[in-house]
Amino acid sequence: MFQSIKTYKLLFLRLILIVAGIELSIFFFKEELLFTGVFALFVVFLLIREMYFYVRNFVLLYNKTIGSILQNDFSSDFSKHKFNTNYKDLFHLYDTLKNKQNEQVSKDIIYRSILNNIETGIIILKKQDTDWNIFLMNDYFSSHFNVPKVSKWKYLKHQLPALCEIIEQDDFQEIKTAIEISVNQQNKQTFVLQASRTEIFEMGYFIVLLDSIQNVVEKKEKEAWVNLMKVISHELLNSITPIRSICQNLQDLVEQDSLSDEDLEDVKNSVETMLRRSDHLQKFVEGYRKLAMLPSPKKDKVELQLLMENCLQIMNPLFREKNIEVLNAITFKRSINIDAQQIEQVVINLLTNAMHALKDTFEKQILISAEAKENRIYIKITDNGNGIEKEIENKIFLPFFTTRQEGAGIGLTLSKNIIESHGGYINYKSEESKTTFEISLIED
């Protein structure tokens, strides 16, 4: 602002000098001082010429700078004008926008590099008027589906009609589904398609993610395998390390010429400890065998009410001993096609977990309920215990993970495997002072 005022003052000063020069010229001519009048006119001419070039250079420089800014072209060199204080604010604006542009370009390069190194097909569409065009396509998408990096939706539609038709059918709205696509003119492969729509600065964008089912499964399997190996190695080390230490101690004792009563007591205690750890390892291995060798379910029609009554008949003595109130809210009669023994084992496991969750609760209560919808039966077991801590929520279905000292850590894992072998699923919802496990099974 200050520089603009200064520029206007300089222009105004030049105008005053020109007007003064013209008046002096007229005065000299009236006084018949011809030579002096001509000289004054020559000075006026020089002032007008200097003002013309000053304004011309000023306007040209402003136009060039503003044009560069509007076109996002920051390659111009204004170094020879840097020391001209008249353009200080203009060059400050130019440099500020140039730095922001460079920063944005750097970010774009980094983001594109990240997207191009992700092993998931990604395309981002941008809406222009009523048409969608391709804003970005990562390298994995282009190479995996053998599609050139086109910019028009119609070209992509020609290359991958199966994908584009599904997107158009849903009118470019959010999608999450499986899709079969033929890759490189080979057999069709199944992909997970996830798409979402967003709007940024009144511009519409549509983001499409495509991931091979095989890749998804491999990632899940690898994650499960790593978690399982952590648990197995932890259990083995917890048993092998003390056993080795005890063996070393026993070796030192038996190498002595004679054993005192105190040494004999140490030998006895060491053997007992080794037996305890061996029993623990044996139970651990047996638990693993149960998980690995789960037999296929032998399904038959079973009344849901009868199933629950059998489970409660087994658990009621424990509930009475622990002063736990059990409410069975299942009233409707439905049949489910299941292996009764296996599903009873699942329900008993969940009831046992609920019982342990109520250990520190004053008014202990378990609610059993069910509902039928969309050809499925949903069985819910809810307790008013302390709930599941957030730190362990993603671990409760891991093999051999347990928070109880006496627990084996296979109950929930085994239950999950049994339910999944029946074509169902099991999940949980933990709220304040309440935890609900839900079993979903196909209705007969």
pLDDT digits over 321-346, tens only? 888 888 888 888 888 888 888 888 88
| Beta carbons within 8 Å of 436's beta carbon, 6+ residues apart | 380, 381, 382, 428, 429, 430
Q: Using pLDDT thresholds of 50, 70 and 90, give the confidence band for residue 1.
A: very low
Percent of the chain with pLDDT over 70: 73
- Give the integer Cα–Cα distance in Å for 24 and 27: 5
Contact 61, 87 (CB under 8 A): yes
Range 132-153 average pLDDT: 85
Closest CA to 303 of 381, 414, 368, 377: 377
- Residue closest to 43 by CA, chosen among 58, 21, 76: 21
Instruction: Write the burial class of residue 262 (CB in 10 Å: 0-12 exposed, 13-18 middle, 19+ buried).
Output: exposed
How many C-beta atoms surround the C-beta of residue 338 within 10 A? 27
Q: What fold, for 300-442? A: Heat Shock Protein 90 (3.30.565)
pLDDT confidence of 217, banded at 50, 70, 90?
Answer: low
Q: Is there a contact between 178 and 190 (Cβ–Cβ < 8 Å)? A: yes
Contact yes or no for 147/160 (Cβ under 8 A):
yes
Q: Residue 2: what pLDDT?
A: 45
> What is the pLDDT confidence band of residue 177, given thresholds at 50, 70 and 90?
confident
CA distance 306 to 320: 21
Q: Assess contact for 187 and 174: CB atoms under 8 A.
A: no
Q: Which CATH architecture has domain 118-212?
A: 2-Layer Sandwich (3.30)
pLDDT digit string, tens, across residues 373-383: 878 888 999 98
Looking only at the bridges linking them, the beta strands covering 376-383 and 434-442 are antiparallel
Mean pLDDT of 239-256: 70
- Within a 13 Å sphere around the CA of 198, how many CA atoms are in the beta-carbon half? 7
Angle at 342 between CA 338 and CA 348, to 5 degrees: 115
For residues 185 and 158, which has the higher predicted lDDT (pLDDT)? Answer: 158
**Cα distance between residue 350 and residue 436, in whole Å:** 10
Mean pLDDT of 267-296: 66
Average pLDDT value for residue range 283-306: 71
Whole-number average pLDDT of the chain: 76
Residues 6+ apart with CB under 8 A from 26: 37
Q: Tens digit of pLDDT for each residue in 24-78?
A: 888 777 777 778 878 878 888 888 888 787 777 777 777 777 777 677 666 666 6
Average of per-residue pLDDT across 92-111: 77
In the structure encoding, which two tokens stand for residue 395, read together? 């671990």
Q: Which two tokens stand for residue 135?
A: 């804003």
Contact 134, 156 (CB under 8 A): yes
The C-alpha torsion from 334 through 337 and 341 to 347, rounded to 10°, is -50
Any idea which of 80-84, 198-202, 340-344 has the lowest mean pLDDT? 80-84
Q: Look at residue 400 in the predicted model and tell me its pLDDT.
A: 58
Q: Hey, where are the domains in the chain? A: 2-100, 118-212, 217-292, 300-442
Q: Which is nearest to 336 in space by CA: 294, 366, 370, 384?
A: 370
